[in-house]
Amino acid sequence: MPENEAPDLRAYAIFASLPPEALQYLQSRLVRREIPANRVILHRDVRGDLLAIIATGQVALKTADGKQQILKAGDSFGEGMLRYGVPSSFEASSLSEVNLWLLARQDWLRAQNAFSPAFSTAQPSTAQSAKSVGRGHWWLLMLVCLMLTAIILGPSLIVAFGSNLALYALEDGRPDEAQELIRLALFLQPDSASLHDAYGYLLFKQEDFPAAVQQFQLAVELDSGLASARNNLGVTLLAEGKAEAAVPHLKAVVDLDPGNAQAWENLGDAWLACGERENAASAYLRAYSLDPDRLRARTRWAALILDQQRLEEARRAWLEVIQHQPENDQALLGLGAVSLLEGRPAAALIHLQAAQVANPSDALIRLYLGLSLQALDRPEQAAAEFEQVLALSHETPLVDLARARLLQLYPQLVPLGAGQEGGG
């Protein structure tokens, strides 16, 4: 397979059931990556959320029991991560310089939902049959399955089997059953960091953040090198508003897995929440450099470099985002802000009106609209936008600025002498 030519996905069994539209979409979402020789591509027990197809070079897969498999051009790895979002059961390393074609799980799921409902992991026939089984029978069936896994395949495979079943149940809309499956697996493997990580993920998806934190902390205590648990702990702490506590864990993730673009973006979010804007900008830039599809990271980086008056760099970044997402409200807002800073309010108004259509409830967009209209000497329309800011936002800086601008406009809106008629 030529290294610059994307592989034909029809050659791989995992894609055999997809309709042509979904296959074409996934073909367009493949991303090529070059890996130097003798590098760890993916650590074991990390949730990679991808499928990798080898274009050139050789890759070694090493399992927990020390067994090794050599893959060559045309081979692939990560099918379980792509299908079910489970952590890697192996460590992947490059034996030579390697060129990979990567497919992200989010694109896999998007293809299922948009193009192939029948191919969805949530299959109605399976769900219906599960509902027809009595509650006690279902519990017994899962216990028997896990016990057989332990006896026949060995205790280590309980982790992958239990995680797969639980994530399948979660995606099928059965979160309670998913938790019970993880608890069963933990009963058999109580010291599995990966299972505690998976349990925390289920709790996080149900927005039970305190309980999720406990599980992720247990996972980290059991295996401090488990990057997915570190990442999940940091993200959950960030969701709880504990950014300073999240930073050390997210920094550990990028140390463990420096090629993980999502981890760099998460670290950027944590730095930004701590007010460390320069560190946040560096993390967002690294995320986007590793994965150009991370448009959110690109947009946030552009907003942060405005502090340094790097207007042209910010504009180019936002224009790149708009090329991929024409209705990205934050990129349109950024382009409007740059135009306004350059003294071109008419150009700013075009971008900001498009942003307002995309997201009419964003108070910051309304504020910049008001500033642009005020600069164009359209006080009535500007005042209407500033009033919208007061109605939409409770953030003190936005509210104070909108109120101050309204006070500036007041003499223009209420002519001198108004209200004095009939007062003799």
Three-state secondary structure readout of 54-123: EEECCEEEEECCCCEEEECCCCEECHHHHHHCCCCCEEEEECCCEEEEEEEHHHHHHHHHHHCHHHCCCC
Angle made by CA atoms 279, 363, 234, in degrees to the nearest 5: 35
How high is the pLDDT of residue 178?
66
Q: How confident is the model at residue 22 (pLDDT cuts 50, 70, 90)?
A: confident
pLDDT at 314 over 80: yes
How high is the pLDDT of residue 369?
94
How high is the pLDDT of residue 169?
57
Residue appearing with tokens 């290294």: 3
Beta strands 90-94 and 68-71: pairing type?
A: unpaired
Distance from the Cα of residue 274 to its chain's centroid: 20
Among 37-41, 176-180, 370-374, which range has the highest average pLDDT? Answer: 370-374
User: Which one is predicted more confidently, 192 or 351?
Assistant: 351
User: Which one is predicted more confidently, 134 or 58?
Assistant: 58
Identify which of 52, 42, 90, 86 has the alpha carbon closest to the alpha carbon of residue 72.
52
CA–CA separation, 59 and 37 (whole Å): 9
CA–CA separation, 185 and 206 (whole Å): 20
How high is the pLDDT of residue 157?
41
How high is the pLDDT of residue 354?
94
> 339 CB contacts (<8 Å, ≥6 apart)?
345, 347, 348, 351
How high is the pLDDT of residue 348?
92
Q: How confident is the model at residue 50 (pLDDT cuts 50, 70, 90)?
A: confident
Identify which of 317, 331, 341, 339 has the alpha carbon closest to the alpha carbon of residue 362.
331
Residue-wise pLDDT for 151-178, tens only, equals: 333 444 444 445 555 555 556 666 676 6
CA–CA separation, 331 and 317 (whole Å): 9
Identify which of 229, 292, 299 has the alpha carbon closest to the alpha carbon of residue 268.
299
Average pLDDT score over residue span 57-63? 91
> 246 CB contacts (<8 Å, ≥6 apart)?
233, 234, 235, 237, 238, 270, 273
Domains and CATH numbers, the chain: 9-119 (2.60.120.10), 327-413 (1.25.40.10)
Cβ atoms of 331 and 320 closer than 8 Å: no
Q: How confident is the model at residue 421 (pLDDT cuts 50, 70, 90)?
A: very low
Bridge partners of 61, per DSSP, are 69, 92
Residue-wise pLDDT for 112-138, tens only, equals: 666 543 333 333 233 333 333 334 344
Cβ count within 10 A of residue 172? 18
How far, in Å, are 16, 148, 273, 323, 361 from residue 281 at the CA level?
42, 50, 12, 22, 26
H or E element in which residue 52 lies:
strand 50-56
Q: Which two tokens stand for residue 125?
A: 């026939």
Residue-wise pLDDT for 245-259, tens only, equals: 999 999 999 998 888
How high is the pLDDT of residue 155?
44
Q: Which two tokens stand for residue 265?
A: 């973006």
Identify which of 155, 151, 220, 141 has the alpha carbon closest to the alpha carbon of residue 188.
155
How high is the pLDDT of residue 98?
92
CA–CA separation, 344 and 350 (whole Å): 11
Percent of the chain with pLDDT over 70: 79
With H, G, I as helix, E, B as strand and everything else as coil, classify residue 306.
Answer: helix
Question: HSE-up of 29 (CA within 13 Å, CB side)?
Answer: 20
How high is the pLDDT of residue 174?
65
With H, G, I as helix, E, B as strand and everything else as coil, classify residue 17.
Answer: coil
pTM: 0.58
How high is the pLDDT of residue 133?
36
Lowest mean pLDDT among 181-190, 310-319, 325-334: 181-190
Cβ atoms of 60 and 22 closer than 8 Å: no
How high is the pLDDT of residue 65?
73
